[in-house]
Amino acid sequence: MASSLRQEPAASPAWFASLAILGALYVAPFVFRLFAHLALYLRRPKDLRRRYGAWAVVTGPTSGIGRSVALELARRGLNLVLLDLNAANLLEIAETIRSRHGVKTKTVLFDLSSVATPQGDEAMARLREAVEGLDVGVLVNNAGVARPGARYLHEADVEAWVRMIKVNLWAVTEVTAAVLPGMVERSRGAVVNMGSASSEAIPSFPLYTMYAATKRYVAQFSRSLYVEYRSKGIDVQCQAPFYVATRMVSRLSETSRLALLLFAPAPDAYARAAVRWIGHGPPLCAPNVSHQLLWCLAAVLPVPVHDWLRLRHNLRHRDLFHGPSSARAVPKIK
């Protein structure tokens, strides 16, 4: 007893030092990532047109991130092939892009949830036709759906999940396969797939399980394609943002006002960072610097704490989206 008391003062500084070293080693990669991120802003932006080609294809360019990314690409001198499911919205964005930036545009009417049906095959053929002979340098697979929002798996219609799977991952795969051959032929190109931090930066995203799972597919799809096509001059990247202030998250402002204010950039601000990141490795990135910071913070929080916080938070989304009656349908988890 007495001898162990005598040893304690000598032992504890060593104990603390090794803990501090361990902690520093643990945190170092994230701090490094943050600095690498900031360093990018000191470099001149890439000339995307010269590096990859004169045209870009953007899916879902009529609202939110896609709209801002399409406008930013046009500002940087790229012509655009715009793909979306609403004809009137497509015409509007095409006109806005042409009048603001004087680049060329083409539109492809395509409901991406129709992939792998005769109607989808027909639309895919129109996409192939539209990009045929064009020097397409950049493909941004942006279109995505989060509907039905926060729900237990058994609560939503199977059709809603199938639609999500079709738009978020199946269409991404088919559109990429349609645009890649031209890039391979020209030995240059960049593919940007919209993933989400919900599947990459945090261990779980309960009640948005299907959404996060489709985004995990997008991330893995991108990582492997990156390796597959790097030697062919094609840069594949998955951008995995936290919240961006689009209509997809507009209803969350009631539950997370402060977080959204601090960490959710407006789509235009997000798009500037997103376009700047095109062609800069690694294949998985969070272009906005506050998202990068969140990512680092998330990495140091223990998994059970994440899980608990997320479930609590997303249950509040569920109440918000689907009303208190839906909250009664399944006992609340404390």
Ligand X SMILES: *[C@@H]1O[C@H](CO)[C@@H](O)[C@H](O)[C@H]1NC(C)=O
**Which residue type is seen at 253?**
S
| Token pair in block for residue 187 | 């030995």
The only residue of 247, 258, 302, 324 in contact with ligand NAP, by rule CB under 6 A: 247
- Give the one entry of ligand X, ligand NAP, none that residue 63 binds, where binding means its C-beta sits below a cut-off of 5 to 8 angstroms depending on kind: ligand NAP
**Does 56 contact ligand X by CB under 6 A?**
no
Show contacts with ligand X in window 255-294 (CB under 6 A): 263-265, 269, 273, 288-290
| Shortest CB 273 distance to ligand X, Å | 3
- Taking each helix axis from N to C end, the angle separating 87-101 and 64-75, rounded to the nearest 10 degrees, works out to 30
| Strand, coil or helix: 205 | coil
* Residues 205-244 as x/- pattern, contact with ligand NAP by CB under 6 A: ------------------------------------x-xx
Q: Which is nearer to ligand NAP, 49 or 283 (CB)?
A: 283
Q: Is the peptide bond before 282 cis (omega within 30 degrees of 0)?
A: yes
Beta strands in the chain (DSSP E): 55-59, 79-84, 105-109, 136-141, 189-194, 234-239, 284-285
d(CA 272, CA 278): 10
Q: Which of 211, 217, 226, 270 is catalytic?
A: 211
- Largest alpha-carbon pair distance within the chain? 85
- Give the one entry of ligand X, ligand NAP, none that residue 174 binds, where binding means its C-beta sits below a cut-off of 5 to 8 angstroms depending on kind: none
| Shortest CB 240 distance to ligand NAP, Å | 7
| Shortest CB 247 distance to ligand X, Å | 17
**Does 52 contact ligand X by CB under 6 A?**
no
**Does 144 contact ligand NAP by CB under 6 A?**
yes
Q: Is 69 in contact with 78 (CB distance < 8 Å)?
A: no
Active site (annotated) includes residue 211: yes
Instruction: Identify the CA nearest to 150 among candidates 323, 275, 276.
Output: 323
Q: DSSP states of 287-304 as a string?
A: -SHHHHHHHHHHHHS-HH
Q: Which is nearer to ligand NAP, 49 or 61 (CB)?
A: 61
- Give the one entry of ligand X, ligand NAP, none that residue 255 binds, where binding means its C-beta sits below a cut-off of 5 to 8 angstroms depending on kind: none
| Token pair in block for residue 266 | 């407006």
Q: Which is nearer to ligand X, 226 or 277 (CB)?
A: 277
Residues marked active site are found at: 211
Binding site residues, ligand X, CB under 6 A: 263-265, 269, 273, 288-290
